[in-house]
Structure 1
Amino acid sequence: MVAAQPTGLVAALDIGGTKTAAALVDAGGRLLARARRPTPAGGTGEEVMAAVTGVLRELAAADPAGWARAGALGIGSAGPVDAQTGTVRPVNIPGWRDYPLVAAVREVTGARPVVLVGDGVAMAAAEHWQGAARGRSAALCMVVSTGVGGGLVLDGRPYAGPTGNSGHIGHIAVDLDGDPCPCGGRGCVERIASGPNIARRALADGWTPGPDGDDTAAGVAAAARAGDPVALASFDRAAQALAAGIAATATLVEIEAAVIGGGVAAAGELLFAPVRRHLKTYAALSYAANVAVVPAHLGTDAGLIGAAAAAAQTLGLRRFTAPG
């Protein structure tokens, strides 16, 4: 059993619809050891949890001394999450519905504290600490990948909200008569702008994958760079949905910047240029009109760094550098 202690080392867990990763993160944000497995997103709750447990045990085996010194575990999970009950019900992991993730994780972590936040909140904590939102007093940080998640920085601090979900932009409705979303809503940003939906729309509209057979958003991006009009239109539609969600957020809470990361953001200006263009249409009020749209800096490590940062901030671990 490991009790909480004023340590500069925190364990982190990043759970998404595609992969589950864990790491030991030091007070400078460096990942000292890590483990990773695919997430069996279509499996039962127990099968998904087995992958999570396996990753944590691999991490502990990779650096036993570091694992023993870790003062807490931070979890950034696909959401929604409920930090108050320690449960999760990710839209993209149907086997987890009100799943008691924190209790299950404690079978491996022992007595050390566990802090649960949404993956977008974790990304916001990371980018505010060491990335593109550093020094910003108000920002929206977004993950555009298998799903679309987000987190907020408000008054110079990451803001998780009562249950750990604040800033979950992927499930803002931007098309009132749009397609049903797995979350139960209609016309959500995620249903339009996520990687699988970019590819789904392009295929439905007549796009044909190239010789490599890549029918994912990355394949659509390659076709768009080559000038394919259907591929370009699918990315433009995704950018329009993201811009509408960013504008709605800016109107509500006066953000300075929208930081976009995740696999789809790897498309670069193919995504960012139309987001900025559409934002000029949707962000009409003066105080919302000058939001900077910038790429995230921390890449695929943002979820792990941010989960550790969120845990350290919540628990006040003194040797861990404060985010921002």
Structure 2
Amino acid sequence: MPNDLVAALDIGGTKIAGALVDSGGRLLARTQRPTPAREGADQLHATVDEVLGELTAAHEWHRVAAVGIGSAGPVDAKAGTVSPVNIPAWRDHPLVAAVRERAGGLPVALIGDGPAIAAAEHWQGAAKGRAHALCMVVSTGVGGGLILNGALHSGPTGNAGHIGHISVDLDGEPCPCGSHGCVETIASGTNIARRALESGWQPGPDQDATAAGVAAAARAGDPLARAAYARAARALAAGIAATAALVELEIAVIGGGVARAGEVLFDPLRAELRRYATLPYVQGLELAPAATGTDAGLIGAASAGWQLLGEGGCEG
């Protein structure tokens, strides 16, 4: 059955993943590589090329009608370029043109990773059927996307909803984006781990000094680990409440690696949200973990591909 699949690419600071996806959101052929985030542009391009090469070699490739890309941002959907904060070698990198050439001239859609998770959660996950939602990814960075009036609102360049770069600490630390005190400088996995270590927390016998290791220690009752997650929850709550006050939301969905900490994150986040979301029209804001898991970026990218074709996915 020709033209019943799209190819999806999920490009982040940790991994570059690819899959072929049908109109129901089912992932078929898939592949993944670590992101060489500190390498040069050539190595990054080679990694994307490897992922695309595996997809084009799949026996289903002849059924692919378009390619959707969800990338760490900022992105410029109009220009087809990406400048991920956590991938320094890519600044105004012409990713769409490179992918289009490698994919044999197929049409290519580009959105930020935050809008991608929003599209995924609205299409297949915790925000399904909701008209007004903020969907976030809290991982190496912090991103977000908006569902407004039942449709993805990605903005003119594909970056709308980028909650990670709302400043919640006016005297805070510099952010790689150029601002200060952004949500990402406090609540990303990298910064949770850094904060815990700086406060005197020591990794356990497994020497896991990542946010996952901090979460395990917090779960076991370590006060320094718990404090690092409480601080991250405060920053997230401030950003979520500000967004809800601005556009009115029914639900905030949290995904990404940090969200896998479970109640270590969600318990203090609920408490902090009650402190910050005080206006009557935001007090009932629901908070939920993402349901699409590690596949969110691919599902959201596929949704963008289907929308490019005028079919399925999350309307934008």
Judge same fold: TM > 0.5, yes or no.
yes
Look up the equivalent residue of 2:86 and give its one-letter code.
N
2:28 alignment counterpart: 32
Q: Deviations over 1:275-313 (max 9, x none)?
A: 111111111111111111100001000110110112212
Q: How far apart, in 1, do the equivalents of 2:5 and 2:120 lie?
A: 15
**Structure 1 range deviating more: 103-112 or 20-29:** 103-112
After superposition, where does 1:65-144 map in structure 2 within 5 Å? Answer: 66-144=60-138
Give the length in aligned residue pairs. 316
1:58 is aligned to 54
- Please state how far the C-alpha of 1:323 moved relative to its aligned partner: 5.7
State the Cα distance separating 1:69 from its structure 2 match: 1.4
CA distance in 2 between partners of 1:6 and 1:241 (Å): 47
Q: After superposition, give the CA deviation of every residue in 1:98-128 in whole Å (9 maximum; x if it has no partner).
A: 1111111122112210000001111100100
Residue 43 of structure 1 is matched in structure 2 by 39
CA distance in 1, matches of 2:314, 2:216: 40
Aligned to 1:260, the other structure's residue is in SS state: strand
Q: Distance in 2 between matches of 1:250 and 1:221?
A: 27
Q: Does 1:233 align with 2:191?
A: no
Please say if residues 255 and 291 of structure 1, whose CA atoms lie closer than 8 Å, have aligned partners that are also in contact.
yes
Kindly indicate whether the alpha-carbon contact (under 8 Å) linking 1:125 and 1:309 is maintained by their aligned counterparts in 2: yes
Q: Which digits, 9 at most, give the CA deviation of each residue in 1:168-199, with x for residues without a partner?
A: 00000000000000110100000000001000
Query: Secondary structure, in 3 states, of the residue corresponding to 1:165?
Result: coil
Residues 187 and 321 of structure 1, relative CA distance in 2, 3 Å threshold: closer
- Alignment partner of 1:287: what SS? coil
Q: Give the corresponding residue for 1:12.
A: 8
CA-CA distance at 1:322 after TM superposition: 5.7
Matches of 1:71 and 1:17, distance apart in 2: 27
Contact 1:139-1:258 within 8 A present in 2 as well: yes
Question: TM-score by structure 1 length?
Answer: 0.95
CA distance in 1, matches of 2:305, 2:155: 14
Question: Which of 299, 303, 308 is residue 309 of structure 1 equivalent to?
Answer: 303
Query: Do the aligned residues in 1 keep the contact of 2:117 with 2:300 (CA within 8 Å)?
Result: yes
TM-score when normalising by structure 2: 0.98
Cα displacement string for residues 75-107 of structure 1 (whole angstroms, at most 9, x for unaligned residues): 000000000000010000000011111111122
Runs (4+) off by over 2 Å: 5-8, 320-324
- Write out per-residue CA displacement over residues 47-100 of structure 1, whole angstroms, 9 at most, x where no aligned residue: 111101110101122x23x21211100000000000000001000000001111
| Ranges in structure 1 where 5+ consecutive residues have no aligned partner | none
Corresponding residue to 2:157 among 157, 163, 174: 163
Letter in 2 for 1:83: A
Runs of 5+ unmatched residues, structure 2? none
Letter in 1 for 2:135: C
Secondary structure of the residue aligned to 2:180 is coil
Does residue 208 of structure 1 match 2:202? yes
SS of residue in 1 equivalent to 2:136: strand
After superposition, the CA RMSD in angstroms is 1.4
In the TM superposition, 1:289-304 aligns within 5 A as 289-304=283-298
User: Counterpart of 1:60 in 2: which secondary structure?
Assistant: helix
The residue type equivalent to 2:208 in the other structure is: D
Partner of 1:23: 19
Other structure's SS at 2:253 match: strand
Amino acid of the residue matched to residue 23 of structure 1? A
| Aligned equivalent of 2:144 | 150
Per the TM alignment, residue 204 of structure 1 is displaced from its structure 2 partner at its CA by: 0.3
Task: Give the letter for the 2:50 counterpart.
Answer: G
Describe the SS at the equivalent of 2:45: helix
Q: State how far apart, in whole Å, the 2-side matches of 1:200 and 1:104 are.
A: 36
How far apart, CA to CA, are the structure 1 residues paired with 2:79 and 2:309? Answer: 17
State which of 191, 197, 211 in structure 2 corresponds to 1:197.
191
- Residues 143, 260 of structure 1: 8 Å contact kept: yes
